[in-house]
Amino acid sequence: MQAGANGISSRVDPTAAPAPSCAAEFRVAFITDVAGLRSTADADGWRGAGEAVRDKPCAHARLVVPARPSDYRRALQASADAHEELVIAASFLLTDDVLDAARANPQTRFVLVDPLVATPGLPNLAVLSFREDQAAYLAGALAGMLTRSGVVAGIYGPEGATDLAHRAGFEHGARYARPGVRVLGAYQPASEGAPYANPEWGATQARAFIAQRADVVFGAGGSTGQGALLAAAQAGRFCIGADPSTAAGCSLTSTVKFVDRAVRTTVSEAAAGRWSGGQHALGLAQMAVGLAPLRRPLPEDTVSRLQAIADLLAAGDLTTGA
């Protein structure tokens, strides 16, 4: 249905509805950016919200897709005014608006999923961030175990917080798995076009590292990293991506964030009365990050060692350097 003339569309998830015998409902508003469920992260989060309420007869989730960025704040405020028990800002594009909404509505519980920048802690705002450094550490460990030349490389975006986490994790993981390995790396320079959107530079940098004997390439940083992966594949080298959607042709695997699991857990805990605002850094211990299924068979001892490293990271017995 159309929610008035404000350009915001809304629908109720049919997977769960309040039962007549419910003394109280638990209502969730899930607000995407203008891309709606065309955004992979938003679609994953919505799936997690639906899974959380599916088996709860007194809970339901409502999807809100603003038509314009100027509608983000209005959608958040409308959900607070409707006394939703939980209001989820599914995209980092809503960061400023959800911060303002949380400050203006201290009795409403908000969730922000995977912001790009650090956000202030608020008691009624849960910020879900992902330990991408841990996933990158696993990528580096795999690279270190598989390299034959003793040289691996990473290509990253323009030295933002995520890029720093990717590089630190990858390099520490490679050196842990193979002490003495040579690890090459480069951030996309400011002079090389739009951030995260220069596959030509990424490919050129990957070829330069391959010329220095790198035989496993980790490509992070949007389409910039995708260019690096393509160049590695064309050269017959192993490659590991930093996002399944941009690393589909990669020969080994990619790091992944399980947004659906993070949202499902958050909604379930709130419904059970275990709400907690503030920063939530979710990693291997919460099964919120990891590697996608391997795309080629690997020796059993390699897979076993990789799992052992993941267990050490989850237990806090290894640090990523990030």
- Taking only the tens of pLDDT, the chain with its 322 residues reads 223 333 444 444 444 444 456 777 899 999 999 999 998 899 999 999 999 999 888 899 999 999 999 999 999 999 999 999 999 999 999 999 999 999 999 999 999 999 988 888 799 999 999 999 999 999 999 999 999 999 999 999 998 889 999 999 999 999 999 999 999 999 999 888 888 899 999 999 999 999 999 999 999 988 999 999 999 999 999 999 998 766 667 779 999 999 999 999 999 999 999 989 999 999 999 999 999 999 889 999 999 999 999 999 999 999 998 8
Kindly give the interhelix angle for 40-54 and 259-271, rounded to the nearest 10 degrees: 30
Which residues lie closer than 8 Å to 245 by C-beta, 6 or more apart?
40
Classified as helix, coil or strand, 274 is: coil
**Distance from C-alpha of 166 to C-alpha of 173, rounded to nearest angstrom:** 11
The string of pLDDT tens digits covering residues 99-151 is: 999 999 999 999 999 998 888 879 999 999 999 999 999 999 999 999 999 99
Pairing status of strand 26-31 against strand 8-12: unpaired
Q: Which of 130, 50, 48, 57 is nearest to 92 (CA)?
A: 130
Please report the pLDDT score of residue 285 as a whole number: 95
CB 166 within 8 A of CB 132: yes
Q: Looking at residue 10, what is its pLDDT? A: 45
- Residue 50, SS3 per DSSP: helix
pLDDT at 193: 83
* β-strands 59-66, 86-89 pairing: unpaired
Closest CA to 56 of 276, 263, 271, 266: 271
The CATH T-level fold of domain 8-130+259-286 is Rossmann fold (3.40.50)
Lookup result for tokens 């608006």: 97
Q: How many other C-beta atoms can be found within 10 angstroms of the C-beta atom of residue 257?
A: 25
Q: What CA–CA distance (Å, rounded) separates 240 from 242?
A: 7
Question: What distance in Å separates the CA atoms of residue 49 and residue 61, rounded to the nearest whole number?
Answer: 7
Q: What is the rounded CA–CA span in Å between residue 80 and residue 32?
A: 16
Q: How far apart are CA 243 and CA 222, in angstroms?
A: 8
**Helices and strands: H and E segment counts in the chain:** 9, 13
- DSSP state for residue 20 in the 8-state scheme: T
The answer to whether residues 297 and 118 touch, using CB atoms and an 8 Å cutoff, is: no
CATH superfamily name and code, 133-252+294-315: Response regulator (3.40.50.2300)
- Reported as a single tens digit per residue, the pLDDT across 194-232 is 888 999 999 999 999 999 999 999 999 889 999 999 999
Q: What is the sign of the dihedral through the CA atoms of 258, 260, 266 and 268? A: negative
pTM (two decimals):
0.87
Report pLDDT for 243.
Answer: 80
Q: Which residues of 25-50 are buried (b: 16+ CB within 10 A; e: fewer)?
A: bbbbbbbbbbebeebebbbbbbbbbb
Q: How far apart are CA 40 and CA 42, in angstroms?
A: 6
Question: Which residue, chain included where needed, has tokens 């009365």?
Answer: 273
Per-domain residue ranges of the chain: 8-130+259-286, 133-252+294-315
2 Cβ contact partners less than 8 Å away, ≥ 6 residues apart = 9, 10
